Every structure is written in structure tokens, then in C-alpha cells.
Structure 1
Amino acid sequence: MRETAAEIRLQITKLKAIGNDDTLKGKYVDALQSGADKFRGKLEKSAGRYERVSAQLGKWATELHSLQSTTAAALTTAKSAQADIHRLVGSTDPESATAEKAEKELNPPKKEELHRARRDLAAAQRSYHRAVEDYETQSKNIARKIRNIIDDALEDGFWSWVSNIIEQNIEAIKVTLEVIGYIATIAAIAALAITVLAACIAMPALLLTLAPLLLTFGTVASVVSLGMHSLMAATGNGGWGDVGFDILGLLTFKAGGAVARGVEQGAAATQRASTQAARRATADAMANSPKRDALQLAVRQAKGKTAQKAAEKNLHIFDKTLKAKGAAQQLPKPTIREILAAGGDPKTAAQLKYAKRELAKRGADSATYEAAHQTARAGLQNLGLFVGGTTMDLGDKAAGSSDIFPTKPNIKPYGDAKDWNFYNSSLYDYAP
């Protein structure tokens, strides 16, 4: 096993030299060096297994040799002691009649010799049994360690099968994911276009239902892309940059939803603050109007039912002139520019426009001012996420390489960063 590991290490060195050779020229070089690096990674796992198992077997050989020496010595001692006992009493069984009778007839020096032989035999037996126990313990320990060593990346299990299915179909998977990515981008643009147009012109109901379906498809496509890119990266067939990009895209989508809820809450807070401000303004105007005081006095001093009704009518008409304009109850219709500025969501655009109008109407009120500005801040965040997510998606497609169009211009450092992986090859390897 040591010799096999050494031979594998020799081949690894040769493959490493191929991977690091800067003198090679031609279109074949990238594929050759990439293949050499990947194969080298697999061989390193194999060499490591041979080396570790060999080391454990070396330890076991040392232990086994020591235990064999112990049992051999115990056997030699035991045979010698049994021979002495048999010579002195005619039997190795101390409880036999022959042995008991012969022992009684022995003189003191012979009895001492007999006792010494029996002690040597017992000691040899104890030494033997301890060695056997040590043998069993050590063999189990070594076997356990070897099982742990071989239960590694070369183990052929379900995950290794998945890993190799991905590796064997990697080109098709990459093309499929790229197609899905382009379709998801087109679907998002189409959904945006439908949504913006629907806010401005009448559209068929069937066409309107496409927008949420297209957005749902885009979300599902992002989740599928994240799952496949994670599997590819985990098996050494892809880069963690793609995984990070997918996660960032989904987080941007989630954050956009949270910000949109913030705009909605801000618009509702603006409406409440504007309504309360209108009520306070009306109450203040009524409380500080001399003309109203005079009209109230006229109501109190009116003689007769007809005069009373006329005075109350005059007061009611004047109160209407003092009543401050309340908060709008309906959202305004946004323009195309406002919808685009709201990330393509007509409802969010309408809420932002509503808050802006209430601010213009009641900007002097601190509560209305704060609520409207909170809505505007959420709107800016929403726009930033929309622009950032769109730029990130389109920029990735422009700067990255393409498996569909190999000759597409790309920025190589960007592609290398996305393809980064700390594995030389698959986590698992399946050899049919």
C-alpha cells in the first residue's frame, strides 16, 4: 500500500507540472490543465487513503509482532513448566490421584521445584491471556480507524452518485441554467412592461394575469438556479460566486417586498397624520374666528322659529368655509415615469404620489411631514433595489462568459471570480 501511494504521488507531481506549465500554447491548453487539476484532486484523495490505511497497518504490524512475541514466550515457558511438573509428579493435573500421591513422597527441595514450576505455568497462562485480550482490543481499534479512513470522499453512496451525475452532465446543466436565466430576465422585463402599460391603458384581463405568473416564474427560476449552482459548487463542478450571486438576487427580491410594505405603511401613516392635522386646523379656525362668534350669538338671540333656522343656516354655511381640506381617500393615478421610479409597481407608485401630495397640502404639520418623508425614503430604497437588481442581472449577463455562445465577449477576471472553488474536484468520486 505504501508503494501504491508513492506511485500515485509521483503521478500527482506530473499532473501538477502540467497544470502549472506556462509554456503550453493552443486552444487545448485550458481543457488539458483543467482536466489535469481535477484528476490530480481525485488522485490526492486516493493517495491519502492508501497512506493513512498503510500507516494504521504499520502500527498494527508492530503491535501484532509484539503480541506474537509475548504469546510465543508464554508458550515456551508453559511447555517447560508442564514438563517439569510431569517429571516430578507424573501428571500436569495437580488434583489427580497420581499427582497427589507423588507430591507427598517428594522431599523438600523437589516440592519447592514443583511449586516453582506451577507458579511459572500460572504466570505464563496469565501473560498469554493478557496478550490475547490486548490483541482483540488493538485489532478492533485498528479496524475502526481503517473503517473511518475508507469512509471518505471515495465512498460510493447516494451523494457520490449525485455528484457524478452532475459531473457527467455538467455541460448540459450549465446550458440549461443559462437558458433559464435568460428566460427569467425576459419574463421579468415582460411583467414590468405589462404592469406599466396596464396602469396607463386598458388591457385585456387575460393579459393582466400574465404579469404575476411571469414574476412567479422568475422567482421559481431563481430558486432552481440557486439549488443547482449550490450542488455544482459543492461537488467541485461550479463556482461559489454563482451561488452568492443567486443568494444576492433572492435577498434583493425579498428586500424589495419588505421596502414595498414600508411604502404602504408610510402612505397609511401619512393619511392618518394628514386627517388629524385637518381636524386640528378646522378646530383652531372655529375657535379663533370673531365672525363665527357673532353668528353663534345671532343664533342664540334669534326670535322665532324662522329667524332661528336662518341664523343656524348662516352659521353652518360659514363653518364649511372654515373646514380645512381633509386627506384624500383615494390613491392618485401614477404616470409611467412614476411607476418606473417605483420599481415598476403601480400601487407603490400611487402610494408615493399620495404621500407627496399630502405633504404639499399639509407640510407644516410635523406628523404629516415625518410620515410623508418616511414614505419617500422607503421609495428611494425601493428604487435603489430595483435599479441595483436590474443592473446586477444585466451586468452579470454582459460581463460573464456564456456556455451557449462560447465566443461571446466577457471579462475574464469576473468569470474567474465566479468560478472560484476551494475544491480541486468533486467532494465525492464514483468509479463504476
Structure 2
Amino acid sequence: MATGTKNRPTDWHPLGEADPTPGDVDGVTAGQKNMQSTAAEIRLQIKKLKTISDDTTLKGKYVDELQSGADKFRGKLEKSAGRYERVSAQLGEWATELDFAQTSTAKALSSAKSAQADIKRLLGSADPDSESAKKAEEELDHHKKEELHHARGVLATAKSDYQHSVESYEAKSKDIAKKIRDIIDDALEDGFWSWVSNIIEQHIDAIKITLEVIGYIATIAAIAALAITVLAACIAMPGLLLALAPMLLTFGTVASVVSLGMHSLMAATGNGGWGDVGFDILGLLTFKAGGAVARGVEQGAAATQRASTQAARRATADAMANSPKRDALQLAVRQAKGKKARDAALANLEKHKKSLKVRGAAQQLPKPTLAEIAKAGGDPNLAAQVKYAGREAAKHGRDAATQSAAHQTARAGAKNLGLFVGGTALDLGDKATGSSDIYSKKWNIEPYSEAKDWNLYNTGLYDFAP
């Protein structure tokens, strides 16, 4: 390996004006070794932190916090050690490339100077274009001319080798420099993501408490909105109180979205568990599925109304077509003598036709009972539509289309009940069995709480940037 810039040539003619590959190989190598030793020391500290994290003999209230902190700090040190190791590898490659380039250019310079000296000796001048050099070349004998030709070839080869070495080194050194910059730019505290991660970590306790409070408020808001809508279906209520129900539901939805966003951010930065994220997603999916079921109930009720209307028309037409009395009344109309008798006969015919007409689909939804509201998942409007479909089906017991549409409506209503019960049970079960950041002594099922806090990356995704 070269011994540094102190032994580099100072005169680079005839190849260049100055050293084309300056640098201290020994200095770069020393920097590489320093990086290696630093990474090794960090790895040693990581090993000590792992010992603390895995120690099962420690006892006391401080243990969980200590081991959790050790895990997080260990993760950051692992990232730091990785950066030192990657920079060290790049410095090692740089030292190799610099050593090779300096050796190649020095060798090319030596060949060029030797060839230039031979040319000057043969022509008496280093400038081949001078008049004296041209005249001297004409006077050379055959052997001298061959020697001159050889010297010029050596000089041309030296220039080519020199140029190739310089260009190759410049390209490789730029690539290495870029890789080092990329590694350095990804420093422990660099970038917006790391800034966000650190902010969350610094305020993690307050964030957890806030999210837990929001969760309880959202649950209470949902129950209150349900109570208002159920009571409104049974008794008269002030308009202002009725208007509060959709506001409470909107708040619950917004709170769920905020909770999902914050829990995702916490999990991604290693400050929370993916279990909370999954629970939030499940809650929102349940809400979305509830909307789809509600649309199914509405579509089923509308289909029942259409089928009931068609069934009534068909039943009316069948009754009229098979009525002997109608035929007799029509005959009486034809045989009536005089206007008074004819009008009386027509009145009797119209009265009989009205008696044959089957009542069509109702235009108003019926008022559901509390039991029917409960069966529809607590939604009075859906309960009314399910009840409506059932009544229309009862009017046309033999009409397949009406029965099918009513069955579809009832089935959708049952699904809504299942979603309501399932979603409520999950929410209340989570709050009952999970741990609390507000009250640390709250009873909880420890395996469940630990599962919710599970995180593949103890220190967050941002700690594993390349």
C-alpha cells in the first residue's frame, strides 16, 4: 500500500499540471479502523443491554420500564453500529481504490518521463514540433528512428493508462462518496420521520392517556346516541336532543379514525403495539360493514314494497276475472232501461269492483316496538323497515317475490344485530380485560395486554432505514 501524499511526485509533466489522485491512503485506512473499533464498542454495549432485557431474575416495579428502555436504546444502538460498520466498509473500499489509482498514475508518470527523456535525447528537444527537432529527426539513422518510434509509443500508452486510471478513480470515488453521504444523512436524529418519532417518544405517556380517554368518550357517545334514537322511536323528544344523536355518532367515527392514525404512528415508531392498530381497524370495518347492512335492509324493504304492489295488482285482476257477480252486474248495466236505472247499475258495478280490489303496499313505515328495535341492532329506522317488510309479506303469503324480498330484509336486519352485538362486545371486552394507562392497578388479563403491545420492531420502522 502507498505511504501517503508525502511520497507523491510534485511534477506531473508531461501528463498533467498536478497530482490527479491526491489523498492519504494511510489516513483513510486509519479512519476506517477507527470506525470499526467504534462499531465494536457499540456492539459490546448492545450485548450488555440485551443481558438486561433478557434477565428474568430482576424484581421490582422498575423492571418492566428498565427492560423496555433497554430494548429501545439497544435498537437505536444497533442502527448506529450498523451505520459505523457501513461507513467503515466504504472507507476500506475507498482506501483500496485510492491506493490503486495512486500506484497506477505514478507508474504511468514514470513511464512518460522516461519516454520523454528518450525523445529529448534523440531529438535534442522535448518539443517534437520545433524546427530543430524536426531537422534532427530527419538526420536520424534507421535504428535511432525505431528507438524514437518506440519512445513515442511508450509515451502514448502512459498517457492512455494515466487517463483511464484517473477517470476510473473519479467515478468510483464519487460512488463511494454518495454512499457515505446517504449513510450519514440517515443519522439518528435526521429527517422528519425521526423528528416525529422522537416527539412521540418524549410525550408517549400523555398520548397514551389521551387516546384511552378518547376511547372511553367515544364508547359513551355511541351508547348515548343509540339511547336517544331508541327513545325517539317510542316517545316524543325535543328536536335539539334528537339532533345530538348524529353529532355523537360523527364524533365516535372521528375519534376512531384519530385513534387508528395515532396507534399506527406509535406502533411504527416502536412506541406502541400493533394489537391496538388491529383493534381500531376491526372497529372501523365493523362500522363500514354496518353501513353496508343498513343499505341491504333499505334495499330489501324497497324491493318488498315493489313486490307487494305487483302482487296486489295481480290479485285484484284475478279476483275480477273470476267474479260471477261482476258478470251479472255488467249484464244489468247493459240491460238497464233509462238513465236512472243505468246509473244505478253502474254504481253497483263500481262498488263491487272496489270490494274486489286487493289493498296495495303501505306507503308509511310502521312504528317499531322496543323489542323490534333491539332485534334490528338498536336502529329504529332499520327496525321499522324490517317490520314493514314482514307486514307486506303477511298480506301476500303465496307471492314468492314478496316473501323473498321480505326474507332478505329480515336477514339483513339480523346481520345488523350481529354486528352491533359483536362490535359492542369487542369494545367492552377490550376495555374490561385490557390494561390501562390511566390507572396502572386496573385488573387485566396479562397475556391479552401483552399481545396488544406486540411489536416486531422494538424501536420502530424508522430505526431500520438503510
* TM-based fold match above 0.5: yes
Is 1:268 the counterpart of 2:274? The answer is: no
- CA displacement at 1:121 relative to structure 2: 2.3
8 Å CA contact 1:53–1:149 kept in 2: the answer is: yes
Is 1:226 the counterpart of 2:260? The answer is: yes
- Following superposition of structure 1 onto structure 2, how do residues 338-349 of structure 1 map, counting pairs within 5 Å? 338-349=372-383
Q: Which amino acid aligns with 1:86?
A: K
Paired position in structure 1 for 2:32: none
Change (3 A) 1:201 1:298: same
Q: Which moved more, 1:302-311 or 1:201-210?
A: 302-311
Change (3 A) 1:153 1:88: closer
Query: Equivalents in 1 of 2:384, 2:344: separation in Å?
Result: 44
2:359 to 321, 325, 328: 325
Q: Which amino acid aligns with 1:405?
A: Y
Can you give the 5+ residue segments of structure 2 that lack an aligned partner in the other structure? 1-34
Higher RCO (CA 8 Å, separation ≥ 6 residues): 1
Paired position in structure 2 for 1:419: 453
- CA displacement at 1:366 relative to structure 2: 0.5
- Following superposition of structure 1 onto structure 2, how do residues 277-426 of structure 1 map, counting pairs within 5 Å? 277-426=311-460
8 Å CA contact 1:266–1:375 kept in 2: the answer is: yes
Deviations 1:169-191 (A, max 9, x none): 11100100110010010011111
Can you give the 5+ residue segments of structure 1 that lack an aligned partner in the other structure? none
Is 1:88 the counterpart of 2:133? The answer is: no
8 Å CA contact 2:293–2:415 kept in 1: the answer is: yes
- Following superposition of structure 1 onto structure 2, how do residues 20-419 of structure 1 map, counting pairs within 5 Å? 20-152=54-186, 154=188, 156-419=190-453
8 Å CA contact 1:2–1:54 kept in 2: the answer is: yes
Q: Which structure 1 residue ranges, 4+ long, deviate > 6 Å from structure 2? A: none
Q: Which amino acid aligns with 2:83?
A: R
Query: Equivalents in 1 of 2:221, 2:189: separation in Å?
Result: 42
8 Å CA contact 1:155–1:428 kept in 2: the answer is: no
Change (3 A) 1:141 1:173: same
Query: Equivalents in 1 of 2:343, 2:156: separation in Å?
Result: 131
Q: Which moved more, 1:263-272 or 1:98-107?
A: 98-107
Query: Equivalents in 2 of 1:151, 1:294: separation in Å?
Result: 101
Q: Which amino acid aligns with 2:152?
A: R
- CA displacement at 1:151 relative to structure 2: 4.2
Paired position in structure 2 for 1:2: 36
8 Å CA contact 2:294–2:416 kept in 1: the answer is: yes
8 Å CA contact 2:90–2:176 kept in 1: the answer is: yes
Query: Equivalents in 2 of 1:323, 1:104: separation in Å?
Result: 131
Query: Equivalents in 2 of 1:314, 1:100: separation in Å?
Result: 140
Query: Equivalents in 2 of 1:183, 1:285: separation in Å?
Result: 60
Query: Equivalents in 2 of 1:307, 1:87: separation in Å?
Result: 150
Query: Equivalents in 1 of 2:93, 2:134: separation in Å?
Result: 48
Query: Equivalents in 2 of 1:308, 1:235: separation in Å?
Result: 92
Q: Which moved more, 1:289-298 or 1:346-355?
A: 289-298
Q: Which moved more, 1:165-174 or 1:409-418?
A: 409-418
8 Å CA contact 1:259–1:382 kept in 2: the answer is: yes
- CA displacement at 1:296 relative to structure 2: 1.8
Paired position in structure 2 for 1:15: 49
- CA displacement at 1:100 relative to structure 2: 3.1
8 Å CA contact 2:268–2:462 kept in 1: the answer is: no
Query: Equivalents in 2 of 1:107, 1:13: separation in Å?
Result: 78
Deviations 1:287-339 (A, max 9, x none): 11222222222222122222222222222232233222322221111111212
Query: Equivalents in 2 of 1:190, 1:423: separation in Å?
Result: 39
Q: Which amino acid aligns with 2:124?
A: G
8 Å CA contact 1:2–1:50 kept in 2: the answer is: yes
Q: Which moved more, 1:138-147 or 1:216-225?
A: 138-147
Query: Equivalents in 1 of 2:357, 2:164: separation in Å?
Result: 105
Q: Which amino acid aligns with 1:331?
A: L
- CA displacement at 1:343 relative to structure 2: 2.2
Query: Equivalents in 1 of 2:149, 2:344: separation in Å?
Result: 142
Query: Equivalents in 2 of 1:390, 1:56: separation in Å?
Result: 57
Q: Which moved more, 1:389-398 or 1:143-152?
A: 143-152
TM norm structure 1: 0.95
Query: Equivalents in 2 of 1:327, 1:259: separation in Å?
Result: 23
Deviations 1:236-259 (A, max 9, x none): 111222122112211211221121
Query: Equivalents in 2 of 1:113, 1:233: separation in Å?
Result: 77
* % same residue: 79
8 Å CA contact 2:378–2:417 kept in 1: the answer is: no
RMSD over equivalenced CA pairs, Å: 1.7
Q: Secondary structure at the match of 1:406?
A: coil
Query: Equivalents in 1 of 2:36, 2:318: separation in Å?
Result: 97
- CA displacement at 1:105 relative to structure 2: 4.1
Query: Equivalents in 2 of 1:339, 1:153: separation in Å?
Result: 59
8 Å CA contact 1:74–1:128 kept in 2: the answer is: yes
Q: Secondary structure at the match of 1:209?
A: helix
- CA displacement at 1:157 relative to structure 2: 1.5
Q: Which amino acid aligns with 1:92?
A: A
Q: Secondary structure at the match of 1:404?
A: coil
8 Å CA contact 2:229–2:245 kept in 1: the answer is: yes
Query: Equivalents in 2 of 1:126, 1:268: separation in Å?
Result: 87
- CA displacement at 1:155 relative to structure 2: 5.9
8 Å CA contact 1:154–1:428 kept in 2: the answer is: no
Q: Which amino acid aligns with 1:172?
A: A
Q: Which amino acid aligns with 2:282?
A: L
Q: Which amino acid aligns with 1:320?
A: K
